[in-house]
Every structure is written in structure tokens, then in C-alpha cells.
Structure 1
Amino acid sequence: MNSTSGILIIGDVMLDQYVSGSVSRISPEAPVPVVKVEKEWSTLGGAANVAANVASLGGQAVLVGLVGDDASSASIHEKCAGQGIEYHLVKSAQPTITKTRIVSGQQIVRVDREEELVWSPDAKAQLESSLNSLVKACDIILLSDYAKGTLSDEVLKLIFNAAKDNGKRVLVDPKREDWSAYKGAFLVTPNLLELGMTQDGRGISNDDNQVVNACNSLRTKFEIQNIVATRSSYGMTVVAEKGVLNIPTRALEVFDVSGAGDTVLAAFGVSLAQGKTVSESAFVANAAAGVVVSKRGTAVVHQTELEKFIKSNAKSISKNELGDFKNSVFGKKIVFTNGCFDVLHQGHRKLLKEAKALGDILVVGLNSDTSISRLKGAERPINSVAQRIDVLSALPDVDAVVVFEEDTPLELLQELKPNVLVKGGDYQLKEVVGKDEVDEVVIIPLVEGVSTTNLLTP
């Protein structure tokens, strides 16, 4: 095993097989559909799918894992070579993990061929002898833990020690109830189910405060710098020492969620290796997930389609473009609201949803970073204006976002002349700036106990 550079992926390597066909009758032998096979194919799965996504997003993928001595292993070798993945696949006594999905329009059944993977003494010695050089040569380490045995406690200890010795960041897609083996990770990416499996997250619902509290507890207990909880239709929540970032979901159309977590991990790895911040990488990963769930089966996201998707979702307009924007929506009822929207929460979502229901077009005036610092203090904003624009642009109720540097949106209102001005319930009508520039002012009640301040306060 010798590696030059790139993103090191270690974890449970799998082959995902698909059998697709049509169903026209029920079996006379049992009350099950009879599938007439029309097409069969296979893709890289598990850690191998993470590597495939790294490669398709423009990163240099270096894959390490266990495979058997069988046809599935041969297929994985062939696919890795074909997709430009550098691979170090160690032979195990167990068969290659293979998942076969029978599909007719939708998945009918899945057949798993697997045994718990075990590192033989020779295989472990091979890993130990090469791990330090692999870690030293990489930019970042991604651990794809499907709890199949590859990432045993002993192996995880070897990886984290090598990462620490070489100053490398470790990102983990977890499947364990106990995260003690991930102690010291730079970033962990649980979905809501995985978060709920942990002692600190047991019994949580898809609620902003519950998710943040569970993530903060896990982050502190296991010395994890960042936790990114993926929350299906609620998007993703980034919890770090300096604050919280909620990013709404972005999806073309949800067709198949298989491997979405692999894509999120890969996108984070590539983005962080390119020098992006965690918050910036979260936007990329969220967009990548939005693309991949619109595809059939375990799939990858290509760099060009991701860039196209992100560009098509941008809704930011400048102050100078307000006139042209108003002309483009002539005859439609324009609703305007404004704020910092620093850490998007349930109250913000309610306000924006109800504001959009009052008209045809919703324009959000967004305080600039300097404006927020003047109003809220030097420690704010938590999230930059670019990040806040991206979050708001991902919301289906928002049609346009325009940034203003002033303390109030009066100049925007004078230029746009919206029909309705919406404010949160902490305002009284006499206090509303710009009320004379619109036909109607609507005050929407706040969600009790939900605020950015509450989210930022431990």
C-alpha cells in the first residue's frame, strides 16, 4: 500500500446490486409478486460509494477496506479502477458484503449477503504497516462506519492515533450507539435515526432544540469539534462550539435516499480539503444530497451537476436590481419582510411561510454582517451573509433575498414599494419602519420560547 495524496476513505466496502423488472401477477406459490427480470446492474456501496462520490466531485479518492475472495470483490476492483479510485482492498475470510435490491417501480425486497468482517492477523499487520504512510499522504480522512466490522475499536484507535500524529482531520459517518471510539473527531454526520440511537439523543424528535441539545451533549462528551445532523425534510443542522447553523433541505425530487449519507460525507471531505469552512462545506453537502436523492439507487453526484444545481437555486438580488425585479413580477402581490436570520429556526420558518401566504412573491431584506454587528454586538453574526443568503434561498417560500447595509430596510421599501410588509410579533404597528411605504402591515405572532438567543445559549 503506497499512496501519493488525496482523501483517505476507510470503512465497510460493499457492492450494491439491482434487479429491475415488471410485475403483472401474484405468485401461485405464495402471496408475493412475480418479477419478470428486465435489467440487472451493480454499483459501489458503503465506503466504496463514499470514494466514488469523492472522485465524481473532483477529489482524489484513496479507499481502504475488507473484501472477500469472490465475484463481488472482482466487481468492486473493476469499478474502482474504472472510476479513478486508488484502492487498497485487503482480503478477508468473510465474503464481500453484497446487497441485492429487487425493484419494480419501487423497491420490493432487499437481500443481504454478509457476515461480520474480521481483520485476520495478516490483514491487520498489513494495515498497521501502511496506515501511517497513507494518513501522512492524505489531506483528510473519511470513516464510513456501517457497523459491519471493518472499523473495530482497535482499528479506529489506530486511525485516530495516526491522524493525531500527522495532524489530519477525521470525519465520521456513524452507526454506533456509543461514540467513544470517535473521540476527537473533527466532524461527525449522523442522520436523525443515528442520533437517536445514542444515549444523549435517545427519544428525540425532529425538533430544532432537541437536535441541537443532543448534538452539543455528544460534542462535549466526546471532544468532537463539529456535529452535522441530517434531518430529511428539515435539512441539516450544524452544531459547533461557536454556534448553530440550520440549512433547509434542497432536493430536486426525492426518489431514492440510498447512499445519501455517503454523498454528504464525501462532499464534506472534498470541500474541506479544498479549504472551505465547515459552514461553507455544509451548504455544498446539503446541495449534493439534494441532487443524489433524485436519482435511482446508490448513485454519485458529479461536480458539474452540483454546480448547476447550486446556481439554479440562488435567489439573491442586489439593491440596484430591485427595479428590474419588480418589473419582472409586475401584477403580482409582493410581500416583504426583513431581519438578520442568523440562525434559522422554527420561528423564522413559520414567519416566512405565513408571509408567503399573504401574496404571490416574498422578498426578504437581509441585514449585512456589518449591520448586524452594529445592532447585535461584535460577536454577531454567527453565520456570514453569504451563508445566510444560501439558507434563505433554499426555502421554497422565499422568492428573492436582498441585502441592506443600513440599520433599517427603509430604502429597500421605498424602492420596491411592496404591497404587504410583514413583521414578527415583538413589534407594535407604531414601531414599524416603512409602514407608510406599503398598503398593509401584518404582524405575525412569534413561536413562544424559540429564538436565536435561546439556540445560542447552552
Structure 2
Amino acid sequence: MQQEYHDALSGMQGRDILVIGDMVADIYLDGRISRISREAPVLVLEQAGEKVVAGGAANVVNNIATLGGAVHAAGLVGRDESADGLRAILAKNGADVRGLISDESRPTISKTRIIAGGRATVSQQIVRIDKESKEPVHPVIEAELRAYIESVLPTVEGVVISDYGSGTVTEGLQTLLIDYCRAKGIPSIVDSRYAVCRFSGIGYVKQNDAELAAAVGRELATTEDIIRAAEELREELHAKGVLVTRGELGMVLVENGAVHEIPVSDKSEVFDVSGAGDTCVATVILALAAGAEPALAARLSNIASGIAVRKLGTSTVSVRELAEAVEKQHPEYPSK
């Protein structure tokens, strides 16, 4: 077991991964409660800080970078401060951001959270403001994104499609990526919030239990229900495997003829589950690109996700953190 982990973690370093999907700027506006407004029964906040964090597909990119991968980010952004912030965050960690195509007709997808607090009160989110375009991607912009993807595909060792329902992954781009990965034997994985059934031919599928229930159209009350549903989805998409995350119940990986139940790796306090699925996907694709067996890739992703949920907000996991967590849970694994 220890040699498997050592080989996987070592092999993950420098793997060339393409991530395409809905790039999101998570914006946190921190305000201190000043008074009640005279205009309406609402709080008046004095802005105390603002932070931009990579969200959506951008969080997958960030996690691959901090886990040691060589990652290419492909998606759409506007010509605005949110786009500048995303580029800076990803480039700082060494990601290739040339594939973040600017479209002045649409804003960068953003989720702005207003956080209110005071000297004697706990800060908490009081409202979230989302901004995105609902218009289809313009053919000229899609062609520019396609040209970038085609330019990097010859070097790529793994592909992630991160679909948050904002329309970045068009049918044409989806077909290009899936067909290329199947022809070249390159690992691929999709994480789709609302439309996973469209990704026929993908290598692996990541869903949480609620998303899987929506995909198959029924309640999944037991582990057996989840396994049956995951196998149905795997067969429908002609995929190699379906990985289902289940929160405090761990994960289930269903392959053709094999089922792997993976319990939670660390039952320490959970602070925030935001972005843990992105950490999971990032770890899986890097491990698969390194030649790890799918079950080992899933176990590593389970450990990495356990680190992510103990951090506030969307966050990344470093290869050092992952190696230390593996050593803690598997003392025979030698830390480097």
C-alpha cells in the first residue's frame, strides 16, 4: 500500500492537465455592522475588506496547480476586474491562463457574498449576488476557445470538464474533447452539476449523491440505491467509472464489474464543504494521469477532500498537505 501512494504522489508532479469549464470569481465583501438604515429596515455596513477567490472550474485549476500539476485553464471571462483577479490568482500558482478568453459582451461569472459582522458578533453571510450571462457563446468566441484547446491538446495527459451550467462547454467543444481523449487513451473526467447525461463517452464521472439522484430521477436512500444508480449512469454514458461523493459517508466508485466503498478519511471538524468537489476532481485526474488505478485515485481524492473541508471557503490543497495526510493515515508511507 505505501508504495502505491508513493508512486501516485510522485507521478502526479508535473502532469499536463487541461481544465475547461465555467470559470467563477468568488468575491467576499466583508462589512462591519454600523446601524439600521433610515430608508428601510436593513443593516448599514461599512466595507472592511474585499477578497476574490477562484471558484467553479477555476478552483479545479488552482487545486491541480497546488497539487503539482502543469495545468491549462480554458474558459470565458469578461473584460472586468473579476477577470483580472482570476488571471492573477491562477497565474500566481503557475497555471497557464492563455485559454481564459475575453468576451466583452458578457461579464465574468461572479458570486459576491456580503459578509456582516461586528465587534461582539459572529460574521455571517447575509446575501449572495450572482452575475453571469445567459446568452449562448458567440461562434467567434467559441472558435477562439477551440483554437486554444487544439493548440495544447498534443501535450495534455488528462482532461477535466467542469460544468456548472453556465454554458462554457458547448456541444462542439464537448465532442472535440471526448473524441480526442478516447482516440488517444487520455484520462478524462466530467463534473456536471445539472446535465451530466449529455457527456456520453467521457472516461470518468464525478457526482455528489444529490446530483446523481437528479440525474436518474429518483431518491437514493441507501448505499445500494447509489451503487445501482451509479452503474446505470456509467452504462448510459459508456464511461469507465462513476465516483459519487457522499459527504460524511465518504465516497463510492463504481467501475465495470467493481464497486469500491471509501469511508471518510478524517472525521475531524468540518468547517466548509465549498469547493471540496473541485479538490476531489483535481486529485483524481492527476492520479489517473500518473497511471494510478482508479480506486487508488479515488482514495487519494478522499484524503485531499478531507483536507479541503477543514478550510473556510473555496480552497486549495498542496501536495505537501496531501503527503502529510497520507502519512498520518498510513504511517508506512514515507514523507518526502
Same fold (TM over 0.5): yes
Distance 2:272 2:43 in 1: 21
Distance 1:127 1:202 in 2: 36
Distance 1:194 1:82 in 2: 32
Structure 1: 5+ residue runs without aligned partners? 317-385, 387-458
Q: Deviations over 1:53-79 (max 9, x none)?
A: 000001111110011111111112222
Distance 1:5 1:313 in 2: 25
Q: Deviations over 1:111-138 (max 9, x none)?
A: 1111125332222222333433322210
TM-score between the two structures when normalised by the length of structure 1: 0.64
User: What's the offset of the Cα at 1:246?
Assistant: 1.1
CA spacing shift, 1:106–1:278, aligned 2, 3 Å: farther
1:230 is matched with 245
Question: Which of 211, 217, 221 is matched with 2:232 structurally?
Answer: 217
Whether the 8 Å CA contact 2:165–2:195 is kept in 1: the answer is no
User: What's the offset of the Cα at 1:36?
Assistant: 3.9
Distance 1:48 1:177 in 2: 19
How many residue pairs end up in the alignment? 311
Distance 1:159 1:50 in 2: 17
Question: Which of 274, 292, 299 is matched with 2:290 structurally?
Answer: 274
Distance 2:35 2:246 in 1: 38
CA spacing shift, 1:57–1:117, aligned 2, 3 Å: farther
Within 5 Å, give how 1:53-452 maps onto structure 2: 53-87=63-97, 88-92=99-103, 93-104=105-116, 105-116=123-134, 118-177=136-195, 179=197, 181-198=198-215, 200-205=216-221, 207-251=222-266, 252-314=268-330
**AA partner of residue 174 (structure 2):** L
Distance 2:303 2:15 in 1: 26
* SS in structure 2 of the partner of residue 103 of structure 1: strand
Distance 1:297 1:240 in 2: 32
CA spacing shift, 1:27–1:287, aligned 2, 3 Å: farther
Percent of aligned pairs sharing the same letter: 35
TM-score between the two structures when normalised by the length of structure 2: 0.86
User: What's the offset of the Cα at 1:151?
Assistant: 1.0
Whether the 8 Å CA contact 1:288–1:301 is kept in 2: the answer is yes
Whether the 8 Å CA contact 1:117–1:148 is kept in 2: the answer is no
Q: Deviations over 1:162-196 (max 9, x none)?
A: 223333221011123451x2111111110112112
Whether the 8 Å CA contact 1:47–1:262 is kept in 2: the answer is yes
User: What's the offset of the Cα at 1:160?
Assistant: 1.3
**AA partner of residue 80 (structure 1):** L
CA spacing shift, 1:313–1:22, aligned 2, 3 Å: farther
Structure 2: 5+ residue runs without aligned partners? 1-13, 117-122
User: What's the offset of the Cα at 1:20?
Assistant: 2.3
CA spacing shift, 1:117–1:79, aligned 2, 3 Å: farther
1:339 is matched with none
Whether the 8 Å CA contact 1:256–1:297 is kept in 2: the answer is yes
**AA partner of residue 304 (structure 1):** R
Whether the 8 Å CA contact 1:226–1:241 is kept in 2: the answer is yes
Distance 1:117 1:59 in 2: 33
**AA partner of residue 242 (structure 2):** I
Distance 1:106 1:12 in 2: 26
User: What's the offset of the Cα at 1:148?
Assistant: 0.2
Q: Between Structure 1 and Structure 2, whose CA radius of gyration is higher?
A: 1
Distance 2:176 2:186 in 1: 13
User: What's the offset of the Cα at 1:290?
Assistant: 0.8
Distance 1:39 1:143 in 2: 33
Distance 1:288 1:89 in 2: 26
Whether the 8 Å CA contact 2:15–2:69 is kept in 1: the answer is no
Q: Deviations over 1:320-379 (max 9, x none)?
A: xxxxxxxxxxxxxxxxxxxxxxxxxxxxxxxxxxxxxxxxxxxxxxxxxxxxxxxxxxxx
Distance 2:15 2:305 in 1: 26
2:27 is matched with 17
Q: Deviations over 1:208-230 (max 9, x none)?
A: 00100100111111101100000
**AA partner of residue 147 (structure 1):** G
User: What's the offset of the Cα at 1:312?
Assistant: 2.0
